[in-house]
Chains A and B, each alone.
Chain A
Amino acid sequence: MKGLIASEWTKLRTVRSTMWTLGLTVALGIGLSALATAETRAHWATMGPIDKLTFDPAQTSLIGVAFGQLIIGILGILVISAEYGTGTIRATLSAAPKRPKVLLAKVAVFGAVALVVSEVVAFLSFFVGQALLTAPATHATLATPQALRQVVGSGLYLCVIGLFALGLATIIRHTAGAITAFVAVLLVLPIIVHALPNSLTHDLIRFMPANIGNAISAAQPGSSAFSPWVGFAVLCCYAVAALVIGGVLLARRDA
C-alpha cells in the first residue's frame, strides 16, 4: 500500500494538469471572494439596516469556494479518467492487480492534496475577505461565533466534493462524461428540484450538494437546509457511495 500511495503521488505531481487545476482553484477561490467582499464594502453605505444586520461577513468571503468546487472536481475526475483516456490504467492495474487498493491509494493521495489545498483556499479567502471589509462594514475574525466552523467546514466541503468527483469518474471512466455528470449533479439537479411542486422542493433541496455547502458556509443555515455537520455527513455519504460503487465496478469490469 505504501508503494501504491507513493506511485499515486508521483502520478499527481508529474503532470501539468495538477498544478493548473490546483492553482486555478486557489486563484479563483480567493479572487472571487475578494471581489464579493470588496463589492459589499463599496456599497455598504447604500445598504438597508436589515441587510447590514443580517450580513454574514464570513460567508461572503467564502463565496469563491463554491466556484473552486468545479475545478477541484475536474482534478478529482482526471485522477482516474486520464488513466483510462491514455491507456495508463492497463499498466497501473498490471502493476497492482488488487484493484480496490489502487482506488484507495488514489483516494488517500488526492484526498490529502485536496484537503490541504481546500483549507488553504478557505482560510486565505476568509482572511483576504475580512481585510477588505474595512469599517464601517462589519467583519468577522476566527473568534466570531460560527466563523471557524464556516471556514474549516467550507474547506472540508471542497475536499469531499473532489472525492465525490473521483468516485463518479471511477464509475464513468471517461473525462468528458464524468465532468458532464459532475456538473449535472452540482448545477442541473437543483434546477430540476426547484421545478418540482413546492412541498417536494422543500423536502429535497436540502440534499443538494450546493445547498449543503451553502449551509456549511453560512453562520445561520436556512430553514430548509440541513444543519452544517448533518449536511456534511450526507455529503460524505455521497462521496463514499460513489467511491464504493466505483471500486466494485473497477474490480469487476475488464480494464
Chain B
Amino acid sequence: MIEAKGLTKRYGDKLAVDQLSFLVKPGIVTGFLGPNGSGKSTTMRLVMGLDMPNSGDVTVNGRHYHDLPWPLHEVGALLEAKAIHPGRSAASHLWMLAQTNDIARSRVDEVLDLVGLTQVAGQRAGKFSLGMGQRLGIAAALLGDPEVLLFDEPVNGLDPDGIRWVRNLLKNLARQGRTVFVSSHLMSEMALTAEEVIVIGRGRLIAQTSISDLTSQSSQSFVRVRSPDSARFRTELEAEGATIVVESDGALTVRGADEVEIGELAAKLGVVLHELSPQQASLEEAFMELTEDTLEYRNKETTSAMAASKGTS
C-alpha cells in the first residue's frame, strides 16, 4: 500500500507535484497516468525517499521509506532505465544491491533468470540495449521479493514480446497480492494492464478511479441507437434527461442514458429498434478529455475547483 497526503514538491520555482493525495491498493495493478512532465517520476522519487517533499507526506505500508529497516524486502522500484555503471556486469550490479539488504547470492541468479538475462549476466552493462537495461532494472526491483513495486515507464524500449512479458509479470505480481504501481504515458498499454488508474496533470490529481469508470464516465462513451421511429423516440429519451445528437445517417447518439435504460424505454413504448450499441470510449480518449480539463483550469479558476473536487471523489 502506498499512501500520499498533500504531497508537494517544488524545484526552484517550478511546482512539480502539487497537493497530491492518493492511495495505491494491494492486489491490483494501479496505473499512474499523466502527460510528460506531469510529475509522475517526481512522485515516484518522493515515494522512494530519494527526493524530499516540500510539504505533505507519503508512506509505504504505513511507514516512511527512510524508516524501513530492510527497504529492498518491502519496496522494489524501477525508476530509470540503464541507471547502472557501464563497466559493471549485470550480476555484479545486482549482487552489490543484494548485499546491502542481506539478500542471498542465489536470489541474484533467480531474478536474472526471471528477466531472461542469465546468458549476459557476466557482460558489461554498457553494452546492453535499452530493453535489456529495462529488464535489469526490473530484476533489481524484484531482488528483495518486495510487497510493494514501483515501475516508471517499464515498457520503454521493449519489443512487443517484452511488452507482453512485462504486462503478464505486473498482473501476476498483483495477483500474488502485491501492490503494483506503474507509470506510463501509453494509455493503450495501461488499458490492458491496470485495473485502477491515478491520473495527474501539472502535478495535480485529476482522478483516481477504475479503468471501467474512467471510460464509461467519459463523454466519448455513448449509445448508438437506430430506429424507424427515431423522431418520437428521441423526444421520449430527451424527456428522460438524455442528450441526443442525430447523426448524418439518421442514427441517434445518446449520452446520459445507458443501453439498459434505453432498451427498457423502447420496450415500454413499443418502439422498434434496429440498433442499440454502447460505444465505449478508449482510455486514451477518456484521458485526453481529463487532461484537457487541467489545461482549461489553468485559465479559468472556477473550473479548477470542480476538477479538484472531481479528483478527490
What is A's interface to B at a CB cutoff of 8 Å?
3-4, 6-8, 10-11, 14-17, 82-83, 86-88, 90-98, 252, 254-255
State whether A15 and B99 are in contact (beta carbons under 8 Å apart), knowing that A94-B50, A254-B45, A254-B50 are contacts in the complex: no
A3 interface neighbour in B83, B89, B102, Cβ under 8 Å: B102
| Closest B residue by C-beta to A13 | B92
CB nearest neighbor in A for B85: A86
Which residues of B are found within 8 Å of A15, using beta-carbon distances? Answer: 85, 87-88
Kindly provide the distance from the CB of B49 to the nearest chain A CB, expressed in whole angstroms. 5
29 contacts between A and B (CB under 8 A): A3-B100, A3-B102, A7-B97, A7-B99, A10-B96, A14-B88, A15-B85, A15-B87, A15-B88, A16-B87, A17-B87, A86-B85, A86-B86, A87-B83, A90-B48, A90-B50, A90-B80, A90-B83, A91-B84, A92-B97, A94-B72, A94-B75, A95-B72, A95-B100, A95-B101, A96-B100, A97-B65, A97-B66, A252-B52
Closest-CB distance, A59 to chain B (whole angstroms): 37
Residues of A within 8 A of B82 (CB): 87
Which of B50, B52, B68, B84 touches A86 (beta carbons < 8 Å)?
Answer: B84
Complex CA gap A8/B72 in Å reads: 17
Cα–Cα, bound, A11→B66 (Å): 23
Q: Which residue of A lies closest to B83 (CB)?
A: A87
B99:A82 contact, CB within 8 angstroms: no
Q: Mark B62-79, 1 if CB is under 8 A from A, else 0.
A: 000110100110010101
A95 and B50 contacting across the interface, CB-CB below 8 Å: no
A91 touches B97 (CB 8 A): yes
CA distance A82 to B85 in the complex (A): 7
A116 to B236, CA, bound (A): 91
Closest A residue by C-beta to B140: A91
Q: How far is the CB of A5 from chain B (nearest CB, A)?
A: 9
How many A-B pairs have beta carbons closer than 8 Å: the answer is: 85
Taking beta carbons and an 8 Å cutoff, which residues of B are in contact with A?
45, 48-52, 65-66, 68, 71-72, 75, 77, 79-80, 82-89, 92-93, 95-97, 99-102, 140
- Chain A residue, CB-CB nearest to B76: A94
Chain A interface, DSSP helix/strand/loop, else mixed: helix
Chain A residues within an 8 Å CB radius of B140: 91
A254: which B residues are within 8 A, CB to CB? Answer: 45, 50-52
CB of B116 to closest CB in A, whole Å: 20
Are A95 and B80 in contact, with the CB atoms below 8 A?
Answer: no
Which chain A positions have C-beta within 8 A of B99? Answer: 3-4, 6-7, 10
Given contacts A7-B96, A254-B50, 6 further A-B contacts (CB under 8 A): A3-B99, A88-B83, A92-B97, A93-B50, A94-B77, A96-B71
B66–chain A nearest beta-carbon distance, Å: 5
- Sorted nearest first, the 8 A-B pairs with minimum C-beta distance are A87-B83, A14-B92, A254-B51, A7-B99, A10-B96, A95-B100, A255-B50, A6-B99
Chain B residues lying within 8 Å of A88, measured Cβ to Cβ, are 83-85, 93
Inter-chain contact A97/B71, CB cutoff 8 Å: yes
Interface centre among B50, B66, B99, by most chain A C-beta atoms within 10 angstroms, is B99
Closest chain B residue to A255, Cβ basis: B50
Contacts of A94 in B (CB 8 A): 48-50, 71-72, 75, 77, 79
A177 and B140 CA atoms in complex are apart in Å by 30
A96 to chain B: closest CB distance in Å?
Answer: 5
CB atoms of B92 and A10 under 8 A apart: yes
- Provided the pairs A90-B80, A97-B66, A97-B71 are in contact, do residues A255 and B95 lie with their beta carbons within 8 angstroms? no
Contact A87-B80, Cβ < 8 Å, known A15-B85, A95-B100, A98-B66:
yes
Could you tell me the distance between the alpha carbons of A16 and B124 in the complex, rounded to whole angstroms?
10
**Closest beta carbon of chain A to B289's beta carbon, Å:** 34
- Tell me, rounded to whole Å, the shortest Cβ–Cβ distance linking A203 to chain B: 41
Q: How far is the CA of A10 from the CA of B52 in the complex (A)?
A: 29
Q: Which A residues lie within 8 Å of B77 (CB)?
A: 94
A87 touches B84 (CB 8 A): yes
Indicate if the CB atoms of B83 and A14 lie closer than 8 Å. no
Residues of A within 8 A of B84 (CB): 86-88, 91
Interfacial chain B residues near A91, Cβ < 8 Å: 83-84, 97, 140
User: Closest approach, in angstroms, between the C-beta of A108 and any C-beta of chain B?
Assistant: 14
- A17 vs B88: C-alpha distance in the bound complex, in angstroms? 10
Q: With the chains together, A113 CA to B101 CA distance in Å?
A: 23
